[in-house]
Amino acid sequence: MPADLPSTLLFLGRLLLGGAFVFAGLRNIRNQGFLTGLMAARGVPQARLALWAGIVLQVIAGVLVMAGLWTALACAVLVLFLIAATPMFDNFWDHQGPDRATRINGVVSNVALTGGLLTVIAQSL
């Protein structure tokens, strides 16, 4: 195995993992009206402010993961973000049929993202 292969794979992994959060944060800007209403309906106080805090967190922490800067901290913050966001947006227990399946897939995706983030944390310690 070439000596630089592990570092190349780690770089590509961080790029993809962090990039997913940057993409999601930027996409959330476009959907802010819908998401604010959804959060308010779920009882989130100051839903618009909470949404914007989440967007800023996703984008900044995602960029830090991509750049390899303060990686463990950025990943830990994103894990906490996923812990808060998953039951709010992927509440499959309140849905039936295809919508339930879609939300279950969202939970599984967030679990996988959490696994990736924990792996990057472990590597950076």
Q: How many whole angstroms separate alpha carbon 36 and alpha carbon 51?
A: 7
Residue 1 has pLDDT above 60, yes or no: no
Q: Under the phi-then-psi rule, with left for phi > 0, alpha for psi from -120 to 50, and beta for the rest, what region is 69?
A: beta
Q: From residue 76, how far is each of 8, 13, 61, 91, 92 by CA, in Å?
A: 22, 16, 9, 23, 25
The whole-model pTM stands at 0.91
Higher pLDDT, 76 or 105: 76
CA 54 to chain centre: 9
Note the pLDDT tens digit of each residue in 69-89. Answer: 999 999 999 999 999 999 988
pLDDT of residue 3: 72
Residue 90's closest CA among 105, 103, 108? 103
Q: How many whole angstroms separate alpha carbon 44 and alpha carbon 88?
A: 9
Residue 111 has pLDDT above 90, yes or no: yes
Confidence of residue 103 (pLDDT cuts 50, 70, 90): confident
Do residues 17 and 120 touch, judged by C-beta distance below 8 A?
A: yes
Note the pLDDT tens digit of each residue in 14-27. Answer: 999 999 999 999 99
